[in-house]
Structure 1
């Protein structure tokens, strides 16, 4: 007997999807969407200027999957959230952001592999 797939691919746009250049670009896009959602925006598929190969929540789920697999820890996730909400990466030249910059780079490096595998990052 054939089994149903747990996660079926769904087409959200009739336009060709443009993957993100990097995990950082994708992560900051997720936070732009999240901030707009927090402010009351409602998302409609295929309404953006550029068709993306994922939903914003796919990025959050990918980060949580890394946390569950212990490839990142809560410090990484906290840095991704704090600086993501600021829509700017931490500045490694600032002493108070140097540790955060290392965690940011490490987390995004680990996030790149699953995002690339899913076609979210080119």
Structure 2
């Protein structure tokens, strides 16, 4: 499928909007995710579309790896947001509890993570999972 057609498909993040109007605008740098949850959704969409550059750009510099290589055999298929704290327009910290569903070499799997996010200078970034 041509890239133009793919941009009209529903966004992998699960909100039901076309990719270009949803997380695609964040991936392209046309906008910043305004909440921790939207950053989480856009990061899931980046995993689903193979956009490792966006994942690195939105990872807090204190915990970001030097490089990130995504496995092309892993397909991220669905995101469930289970809950969140903070992470809104007036917050500087937030958490998002989620399940990310995937298939890997024909086997279905689920990643469950309670993630931490911080906002600095108006930009949300991913810190990492909450230990425990």
Pick the structure with more strand per residue.
2
Structure number with higher relative contact order (C-alpha < 8 Å, ≥ 6 residues apart): 1
Rg larger in structure:
1
